[in-house]
Structure 1
Amino acid sequence: MDILDLARLQFAVTTGVHWLFVILTLGLVPLVAIMQTRSLRARDRVRRAALDRMTRFWGQIYVINYALGIVTGLVMEFQFGLTWSGLGKYTGNVFGAPLALETLIAFFAESTFLGMWIFGWDRLRPGLHVTLIWLVTATAYTSAFWVLVANGYMQAPVGSVVRDGVAYLTDFGALLTNPSALVPLAHVSLAALLTGGLFVAGVSAHHLRRGREDFRGPLRTGVLVAAVVTFPVYAAGGLQYPIIAATQPAKTAMMDEPGWVLWGQYVMIGLGYLLGILALAAFLVVFREPLLRRRLPAVVAVALTAYPAGEYFGGFLFNEPGPYRGPIYLLWFLIMGAVLLSRPVGPLLRLLPILIPLPLVASLGGWISREIGRQPWIVYGRLTTAQALSPGLTRTMIISSLAGFVVVLGALAVTNWVLIARTARRGLEPAPTEPAAEPVPAF
C-alpha cells in the first residue's frame, strides 16, 4: 500500500470506530429523555421511583458511551489535522465555521447540560432536570447537523467560489440547505433511533428472560421505536439516490457495477430488510394481546391494504422491482402471519439481544459506501484525496501513527463495550427500603 492508501485506511479506522460511538449515543439519549419524562408525569409515588431507577440505569449506559466517544472524537480530530491538512487549507473558509459550531455545541453546550443532568439528581427540581436531558438531546442532534453540513459540502460543494486554489464561502444559506446534508441527516437520525431502540429492546429482553419484570416497559418502548422508524429509515436512504445521481454520477455508475451490486448494495438491502422484518415482527409479538383481543380486524385490514401500497411504494421509490419488491412482499406476509398466529414471546426474547449489533453494522456500511463512492475526490469535483494529503508525510510516519491509533481506539472500544456489558448485566440498582418505624413505648 502506498502512502495515500495507508492514510485513507487510517481515516477509515479512526472515523469508523468513532461513528459506532456516535450512532449509539444519538439513539440512546432521546429514549432516556422519554423515560424520564414518563417518570415526571407519573402520579403514583412508587411508579415514579421505579421509573427514576430505570432512567438512571439507561442513563449510566449512555454516559459511558458518551464519555469514551468524546475521547475517540479527539483521536479522530488529531489524525484529521495530522494527515489531511490540505483539506483544511482548501475548505477552511467554507466549513470552518460549521465545524467550530459543532465543537462548541458538542464539547461545551452538550457536555455542560449533561454534567448538570448527571449531578443534578435529587438536587434540581424534577421539571428542570428533565429539561436538561432534552437539551442534551437537542444539542446532540444539532451537533450532528453541523457535521453533516461539512460532509454535505464535501459530497456536493455549494455556496462557494474558488480563488487561487482556495474555496471561499459566498452563500451560507445554500451551505445550510444543501440536500446532500439535510436528507442524510434525516437518514442518520432515524438510523440512530433504530439502533437505540433495538439496543434497549435487546438488553430488556435479556433481563426479562431472567424474570425481571421491571424491564417489560423498556422492552415495549425499544421495540415500538424500532418498529416505527423502520420504514422511514429506508425511505430516507432511498431519497438520497436521486441526489447522488444529480451530484455524483460517477458514484451512481459505480453502484450499477455488478460487483458493487452483488457484494455491496444487495448485502445492505438484505440486512436492512432483515432488520425491518424483525423489528415489525417483534412489535406485533410484544403487543400481541391488545392486537388480538381488540384490534385484530383493523390490523388485518391495514395489512391487506398496505400490501399493494408497499408494492407501489417500492417500485416508485427505487424505480425498479429488482431486489426491493420481493422483501416488501415478504414483509407484509410476515406482518399478517405474526398478527394471525401470535407466536409466544419466549423465542423473541432470545432473538432480540442478537439484533443489537446489526444496525451498527448497517450504519457503518452506509457510511463506507458514502465515502468510498466519492473517490478519488475528497471535495467532489474540486479537490482530490491526494491533493488533501499533508505534505512531507512518509510511509514510516503513516504506519506508526496508524498502529498507534489502532491501539488507542481498540482499547477505547473494548473498554466501552466491557463497561456497557457489565452495567447492562447488573441491571437496576436495588430499590431503597423504607426505614422501619420505631416501636412506640407502652405505658
Structure 2
Amino acid sequence: MHDLRAIRDNPDAFDRGLSRRGLEPMSAVVLDLDSRRRAAQTRMQEMQARRNEAAKEIGVAKREGRDAQPILDEMAELKIRLPEAEEEERRVADELDGLLAALPNLPADDVPDGADESANVEIRRWGEPRPIADAKEHFDLGEALGLMDFQAAARMSGARFTVLKGALARLERALAQFMLDVHTTEHGYTEVAPPLMVRDTALFGTGQLPKFAEDLFRTTTDHWLIPTSEVPLTNLVNDQIVPLEELPYRFTALTPCFRAEAGSAGRDTRGMIRQHQFWKVEMVSIAAPDQSEAEHERMTRCAETVLQRLGLPYRVVALSTGDMGFSARKTYDIEVWLPGQNAYREISSCSNCGDFQARRMKARCRPKGEKQTQFVHTLNGSGVAVGRCLIAVLENYQQPDGSIVVPEALRPYMNGLDRIAS
C-alpha cells in the first residue's frame, strides 16, 4: 500500500515511479479521491458537532419555555443528511483504497529500467558449467530411472503434477532438509511450521489479493492454499507493534506451495519446472527501515550458499522495473544452470518490499522508550525452490550411463548413497 502523505507531498515522484513500472500517472486521480474523502469527513464532523450542539439547545429552549420547533426541524434534516454524508465518505474511501491496493510498489532508484526480462542486469556468476555431451533434461533422466512418473500424476490430478519414487523422492527430501539446516544453523533463521491455508487478509497483506486471485487456489471454507510460505511468515507480524531493537526477525519454512499458473498456458508444460504443487524453503526477514538494503544483500547470499554447497553453477540478476513482482521495490533473481536446456533458469527470487506490505498489514516497530511508531520493512526470498533444485542436481550431475551422482553435501541425508541408478 502506498503512503498517501507522500503522494500529497510529492505527486510527481509517485507518477515517475509508476511510469517506470509502465503505468499511467495516477496522482491526480488519487489526490482527487483523497480530497473528496476528506471533504466528506469534514462535512460529517460538522454535522455531528451541530447535532450535538442542537440537542443541547433544544433542552435549553424547553427549560426557558421557548419554541424549539425550528431546532427540531433542523435535527430532522440532519438525521437525513448525516447518513448520506457517511455513505458518501465510505464510497469514496472504498474507491480510493481499491485504487491504491491495485497499484504496485514503486521501484528503488537503482533498479534497472525496462519493459521485461530482457532489461534485467547480470550482477555476478558463480561456478563453471560442466561440459556434458548430449545433456538430457530432467524428465528424460527421471523417467529413464523409473523414478519420475508424470502419467500416474496426470491420471489422478491432471497436468502440472509429478510423482517421485524411491531415491528421487528421498533426494527431494534430502535437499529440503539440507536447506533448512543451512539456514537455521548457519544463517540465523528461525524455523517455522506455518498454516498452509490462510484468509483473505493474509494474502491482501502480502499483495497477492485482490489483483492475483486467479493464480491462487480457494477452498470451500473461504480459505486460500498458500502460493508460498512468504504469506504466513510475513503475516506473523500483521497488526503488531514490535520492539525496534529486536529486529531483524528472520524466519524460514519448508512448505508445499500451490499455484494455479493461470497465466502460464503453454509454458514449461513438460517436466517439473512449473507445477501446481511444489516444495519450497522460504526465507522472510522483518527489518527496521535502515536495515533492509543490507538485509536484502545478506538474504541473497544465504540463498547462493545453498547452490555453492551443492556445486551448482548460477548467476544473479537484478530484475528490471518491468519484470519485478507486484510487492517488490527491488529484486534479485538467482538463476541456476540447466545443461539439458542449455540455459540459466530461476531458482530463487529475493525481494526487498520496503514498507509496502507492512502498510497493508499494519505492521510497525517502535524504539524503546518512544511513543512514535514506524512501519517495518519486509523481505522474502526462496532458499531455494526444492523441485527446481532437484532438476538442477539431476541435470548437472547426470552421467553418460543415465545415473545421477549425489552431491557430497547431500550424502549424509541419503544414508551415504553416492549414486542413483536404475
Fold match (TM-score > 0.5): no
Whose helix proportion is higher, 1 or 2?
1
Larger Rg: 2
Q: Which has the higher contact order (CA 8 A, sep 6+)?
A: 1
TM bucket, shorter chain: under 0.3
